[in-house]
């Protein structure tokens, strides 16, 4: 046993202390987090180039143009800080002697009426009363040559009170300049659409502000009625995290087992290609060597899983201090299951990698045997969405019993909200560990023969023959 | 009867259609320094791997230190023919790792490793990475990995291959010293005269068949060449008529003549008669080399054609 531990410790030390490993395990997540922080900072700073220019609204009534001025203005007022609101009001006052209250009513084609100042949008609205083809063509031409950023043509029927029986929505046309990005196009579409609704409300003798307020959907404050008798509030954020949880667990399991499986493969191939294998076999048996390698790399995988899951748990604890409902998202039992599935997945992957590593003489030869293993390792990624959506579906149940996909399928199911039938989990775990024993046994058989074989890599049939050797 | 370190009985090993080792019987006495000889492909490495329980015989039995190599790994040192190092590992770390696998105690290891590195003239490589060493230095480190735990049985497969004469001499001295300290040593080589200089016992093998198993003394007695070498000062001297001389041949690569003695002739008497026949630079009793013994054994066992092949193989060494 002490020899196995000696081999295991060397494998662990040689892997963990390598700069490549430290960079890969610590550096890459830090890099990802760093990039996310930079992206958030840039978004917050709103570095998107502002939309500045004039939109022509072809609207014989002139009402939509006026309402659009308010809508673009409200967009500003809704979203900005008090200071910016005051700034907008000050600018509006500067421009219109009537003050901010006068803004909606002063719309004139001759004098671009409304200037809304903010980080993203600064729009002048040009109201056009002639809706003939020549005017529209001329406005479209102005959009083309860049003097207008958009032209909206509002047919009269669009602002008429809609017939509730009419399912099809009336349409207006919008010509947008080439350089306007899709976010800005959406904004323009939304604001002009809201302006039309505002005009309709006014025509129906409703207070437009009140009508708009009526259209705002109330926010649900959902809570779960727990069996314990308590009620636990559940926000949108909590729900999103719950949906992501199966993926988080699956990725954690996959990264920790697959990374270490790769290290195990490379270290076995290195010992064969450097011809150090026979030196080792003079001191330890092939089984001791394989066991030592598997245990050593299991330590590496555990370290990776611990690092990442600790970071995740810390994030959840911090999150729970801000939102109480997050406390119920991650329970200690999840971590127990994570450990159970980690060992199951690791020993399955490790036995495959040890067998392949022992059977080939160098990394180039390994490709032919590693490719099928890699394909098998990709199965969890294909399973994630379908199993998350139907955790008790036939696909999920089937893959819960097929190694090496079973631990990944099971952890996705465990983390999903729908509970697994009580009989399935213990049965699947027991079956999984039986498969682990069988896979390690077969790997040991292949390893014992493979480590001393040089030359042409074996075919799968030859590998089966090796398993049958005594 | 001497104690036996390794006992091989009726061992056979096949690789596909190749009969690599045929009905091999072999006893290695404890404390002996044995050469396991034969040309490339003779079956030496296969036999050694079976002794080490790295591979197993198809039939027959092998006893190593009264048991099997598997049970006695810590008492055996093994330098395989295909040997390497962890390229990125430091020399000291590698040797300590191997020593630990061989059951040595951790506390004494660093000092022990440094002492052995001094003995093989590599005092400054303890902290160097293996890949930084020259090929010769790497071979010495590999040798050290086999003997670092000072085992009682040492098996060295082609230990001198690739070594320069100075390092080969250093290695020879170390092997002798370990043997003097009581270790049983077997080493395989296809360079027969190396073994002749070092061994007290020889096993000859060819195509998996044992040709010879004897001490050097026994071989010299068994293969008395009954041949004299005489180098006359005057090249015209005629030795054919001397009593007790069967044949005289001029050697190709020297002015000396090879004189084959008649059955029953006393070499000392014939040497006196040759000296009386004319002025001589030297007259000596010729000893058969192991190469010649090997070729003779192949000829006797398998036939002249096989002997010719063996001669050809040895000439390429």
Contact B64, B100 (CB under 8 A): no
Q: In this complex, do B102 and A274 lie within 8 Å of one another by their Cβ atoms? A: no
**A118-125: average pLDDT:** 66
Cα–Cα dist A65/A104, whole Å: 9
Is the pLDDT confidence value at A137 over 80? yes
Domain contains A170? yes
Cα–Cα dist B156/B253, whole Å: 35
Angle between helices A208-215 and A182-203 (to 10 degrees): 120
Domain contains B81? yes
User: A146 and A276: one domain?
Assistant: no
Contact A35, A43 (CB under 8 A): no
User: A302 and A405: one domain?
Assistant: yes
- How many angstroms separate the Cα of A109 from the Cα of each of A94, A117, A368? 19, 20, 73
Domain contains B306? no
A6: confidence class by pLDDT, cuts 50, 70, 90: very high
User: B55 and B111: one domain?
Assistant: yes
Whether the CB of B80 is below 8 Å from some CB of chain A: the reply is yes
User: A199 and A58: one domain?
Assistant: yes
User: B195 and B70: one domain?
Assistant: yes
User: A132 and A273: one domain?
Assistant: no
Domain contains B313? no
Whether the CB of A6 is below 8 Å from some CB of chain B: the reply is yes
**B104-132: average pLDDT:** 89
Within B158-238, strands assigned E span 184-189, 201-206, 209-215, 227-232
For chain A, the domain total comes to 2
Q: In this complex, do B76 and A6 lie within 8 Å of one another by their Cβ atoms? A: no
Domain contains A18? no
Residue of higher predicted confidence among A153 and B193? A153
Domain contains A259? yes
Q: What SS3 state is found at B292?
A: helix
Domain contains B35? yes
User: B183 and B148: one domain?
Assistant: yes
- Tell me the percentage of chain B whose pLDDT exceeds 90: 32
Give residue-wise pLDDT tens across range B20-73.
Answer: 899 999 999 999 999 988 877 888 889 998 998 888 899 999 999 988 888 888
User: B126 and B263: one domain?
Assistant: no
Residue of higher predicted confidence among B312 and A438? A438
User: A335 and A435: one domain?
Assistant: yes
| pLDDT at residue B301, rounded to an integer | 65
Give residue-wise pLDDT tens across range A30-49.
Answer: 888 888 888 777 766 655 56
- Tell me the percentage of chain A whose pLDDT exceeds 70: 83
User: B67 and B199: one domain?
Assistant: yes
Q: Which residues of B touch A6 (CB under 8 A)?
A: 97, 100-101
Angle value at C-alpha A270, between A366 and B15, nearest 5 degrees: 70
User: A239 and A205: one domain?
Assistant: no
| pLDDT at residue A430, rounded to an integer | 95
User: A161 and A242: one domain?
Assistant: no
Q: CA nearest B75 in A: which residue?
A: A283
User: A390 and A327: one domain?
Assistant: yes
Backbone angles phi, psi at A224, to 5 degrees: -95, 135
Please state, rounded to an integer, the average pLDDT across all residues of chain A: 81
Verdict on whether the full-model pTM lies above 0.90: no
Among B145, B153, B136, B137, which residue's Cα sits nearest to residue B33? B153
Instruction: State the residue range of the domain holding A438.
Output: 235-468
Is the pLDDT confidence value at B112 over 60? yes
Domain contains A28? no
Is the pLDDT confidence value at A182 over 60? yes
A61: confidence class by pLDDT, cuts 50, 70, 90: confident
Cα–Cα dist B157/B188, whole Å: 5
User: B14 and B139: one domain?
Assistant: yes
Residue of higher predicted confidence among A416 and A153? A153
Domain contains B16? yes
Among A307, A287, A289, which residue's Cα sits nearest to residue A299? A307
User: Last residue of some domain: B204, B220, B236?
Assistant: B220
Domain contains A54? yes
Q: CA nearest A276 in B: which residue?
A: B84
User: A199 and A251: one domain?
Assistant: no
Of B77, B80, B103, the CB nearest to A278: B80
User: A243 and A302: one domain?
Assistant: yes
User: B197 and B268: one domain?
Assistant: no
Among B156, B136, B137, which residue's Cα sits nearest to residue B146? B156
Task: Please report the number of interchain residue pairs, chain A to chain B, with beta-carbon separation below 8 angstroms.
Answer: 60
**A65-72: average pLDDT:** 85
| pLDDT at residue B41, rounded to an integer | 80
Domain contains A376? yes
Closest CA–CA distance from residue A463 to any residue of chain B (Å): 16
Domain contains B192? yes
User: A192 and A67: one domain?
Assistant: yes
Q: Which of residues 265-294 of A touch B (CB under 8 A)?
A: 270-271, 274-276, 278-285
Domain contains B294? no
Domain contains B309? no
For chain B, the domain total comes to 2
Angle value at C-alpha B73, between B72 and B75, nearest 5 degrees: 70
Contact A25, A304 (CB under 8 A): yes
Is the pLDDT confidence value at A259 over 80? yes
User: Last residue of some domain: A184, A215, A246?
Assistant: A215
Is the pLDDT confidence value at B306 over 70? no
| pLDDT at residue A470, rounded to an integer | 53
Give residue-wise pLDDT tens across range B162-204.
Answer: 788 888 888 889 999 999 999 999 988 877 777 777 888 888 8
| pLDDT at residue A88, rounded to an integer | 52
User: B260 and B212: one domain?
Assistant: no
Domain contains A10? no
| pLDDT at residue B167, rounded to an integer | 87
Instruction: Return the CATH number at B235.
Output: 3.30.70
Give residue-wise pLDDT tens across range A345-387.
Answer: 999 999 999 998 988 887 777 777 788 888 887 888 888 888 8
Is the pLDDT confidence value at A113 over 50? no
Domain contains A223? no
User: Last residue of some domain: B198, B220, B242?
Assistant: B220
Instruction: State the residue range of the domain holding B108.
Output: 4-220
User: B141 and B269: one domain?
Assistant: no
User: B210 and B83: one domain?
Assistant: yes
Q: What SS3 state is found at B264?
A: coil
What are all long-range contacts of A187-191, with beta carbons under 8 Å and residues at least 24 apart? Answer: A187/A51, A187/A75, A187/A120, A187/A121, A188/A55, A188/A150, A188/A152, A191/A68, A191/A71, A191/A72, A191/A75
Whether the CB of A39 is below 8 Å from some CB of chain B: the reply is no
Instruction: Return the CATH number at B79.
Output: 3.40.50.300
Is the pLDDT confidence value at B136 over 70? yes
Q: In this complex, do A282 and B73 lie within 8 Å of one another by their Cβ atoms? A: yes
A213: confidence class by pLDDT, cuts 50, 70, 90: confident
User: A292 and A322: one domain?
Assistant: yes
Of the listed ranges A225-239, A335-349, B78-92, B170-184, the least confidently predicted one is A225-239
| pLDDT at residue B293, rounded to an integer | 75
Residue of higher predicted confidence among A325 and A420? A420
């Amino acid at each position: 046993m002490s020899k196995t531990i000696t081999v295991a410790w060397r494998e662990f030390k040689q892997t963990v202390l390598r700069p490549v490993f430290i960079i890969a395990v610590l550096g890459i997540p830090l890099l990802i987090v760093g990039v996310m922080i930079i992206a958030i900072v840039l978004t917050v700073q709103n570095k998107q180039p502002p939309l500045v220019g004039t939109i022509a609204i072809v609207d014989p009534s002139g009402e939509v143009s006026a309402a659009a001025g308010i809508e673009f203005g409200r967009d500003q007022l809704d979203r900005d800080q008090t200071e910016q609101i005051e700034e907008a009001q000050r600018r509006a006052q500067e421009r219109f002697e009537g003050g901010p209250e006068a803004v909606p009513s002063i719309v004139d084609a001759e004098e671009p009426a409304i200037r809304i100042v903010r980080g993203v949008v600064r729009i002048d609205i040009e109201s056009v009363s002639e809706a003939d083809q020549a005017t529209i063509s001329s406005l479209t031409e102005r959009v083309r040559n860049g003097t207008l950023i958009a032209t909206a043509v509002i047919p009269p029927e669009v602002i008429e009170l809609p017939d509730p029986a009419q399912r099809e929505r009336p349409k207006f046309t919008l010509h947008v300049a080439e350089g306007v990005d899709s976010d800005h196009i959406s904004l323009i579409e939304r604001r002009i659409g809201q302006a039309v609704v505002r005009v309709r409300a006014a025509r129906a003798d409703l207070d437009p502000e009140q009508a708009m307020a009526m259209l705002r959907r109330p926010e649900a404050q959902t809570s779960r009625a727990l069996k314990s008798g308590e009620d636990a509030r559940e926000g949108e954020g909590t729900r999103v995290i719950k949906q992501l949880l199966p993926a988080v667990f699956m990725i954690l399991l996959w990264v920790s087992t697959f990374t270490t499986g790769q290290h195990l493969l490379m270290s076995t191939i290195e010992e064969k290609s450097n011809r150090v294998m026979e030196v080792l076999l003079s001191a330890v048996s092939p089984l001791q060597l394989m066991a030592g390698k598997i245990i050593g790399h299991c330590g590496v995988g555990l370290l990776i899983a611990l690092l990442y899951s600790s970071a995740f748990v810390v994030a959840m604890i911090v999150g729970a201090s801000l939102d109480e409902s997050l406390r119920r998202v991650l329970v200690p039992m999840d971590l127990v299951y994570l450990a159970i599935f980690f060992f199951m997945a690791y020993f399955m992957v490790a036995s495959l990698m040890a067998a392949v590593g022992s059977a080939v003489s160098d990394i180039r030869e390994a490709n032919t045997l590693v490719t099928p293993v890699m394909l098998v390792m990709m199965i969890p990624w294909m399973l994630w969405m379908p199993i998350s959506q139907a955790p008790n579906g036939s696909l999920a149940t089937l893959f819960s019993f097929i190694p090496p996909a079973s631990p990944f399928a099971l952890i996705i199911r465990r983390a999903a909200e729908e509970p697994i039938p009580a009989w399935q989990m213990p049965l699947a775990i027991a079956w999984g560990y039986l498969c682990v024993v069988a896979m390690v046994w077969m790997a040991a058989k292949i390893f014992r023969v493979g480590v001393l074989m040089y030359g042409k890599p074996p075919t799968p049939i030859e590998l089966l023959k090796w398993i049958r050797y005594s | 009867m001497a104690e036996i370190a390794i006992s091989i009985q009726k061992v056979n090993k096949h690789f596909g259609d190749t009969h690599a080792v045929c009905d091999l019987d072999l006893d290695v006495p404890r404390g002996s320094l044995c050469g396991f000889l034969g040309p490339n492909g003779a079956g030496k490495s296969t036999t050694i791997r079976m002794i080490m329980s790295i591979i197993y015989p198809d039939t027959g039995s092998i006893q190593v230190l009264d048991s099997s190599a598997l049970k006695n790994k810590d008492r055996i040192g093994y330098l395989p023919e295909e040997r390497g190092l962890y390229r990125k590992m430091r020399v000291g770390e590698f040797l300590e790792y191997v020593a630990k696998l061989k059951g040595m105690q951790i506390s004494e290891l660093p000092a022990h490793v440094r002492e052995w590195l001094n003995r093989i003239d590599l005092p400054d490589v303890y902290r160097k990475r293996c890949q930084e060493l020259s090929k010769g230095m790497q071979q010495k480190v590999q040798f050290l990995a086999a003997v670092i735990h000072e085992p009682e049985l040492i098996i060295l497969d082609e230990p001198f291959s690739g070594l320069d004469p100075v390092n080969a001499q250093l290695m020879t001295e170390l092997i002798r010293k370990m043997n003097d300290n009581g270790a049983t040593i077997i080493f395989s080589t296809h360079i027969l005269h190396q073994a002749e200089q070092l061994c007290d016992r020889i096993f000859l093998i060819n195509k998996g068949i044992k040709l010879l198993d004897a001490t050097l003394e026994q071989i010299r007695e068994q293969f008395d060449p009954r041949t004299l070498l005489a180098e006359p000062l005057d090249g015209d001297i005629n030795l054919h008529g001397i009593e007790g001389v069967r044949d005289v041949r001029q050697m190709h690569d020297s002015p000396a003549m090879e004189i084959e003695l008649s059955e029953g002739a006393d070499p000392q008497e014939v040497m006196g008669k040759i000296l009386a026949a004319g002025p001589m630079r030297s007259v000596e009793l010729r000893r058969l080399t192991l190469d010649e013994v090997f070729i003779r054994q192949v000829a006797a066992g398998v036939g002249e054609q096989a002997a010719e092949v063996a001669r050809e193989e040895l000439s390429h060494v």
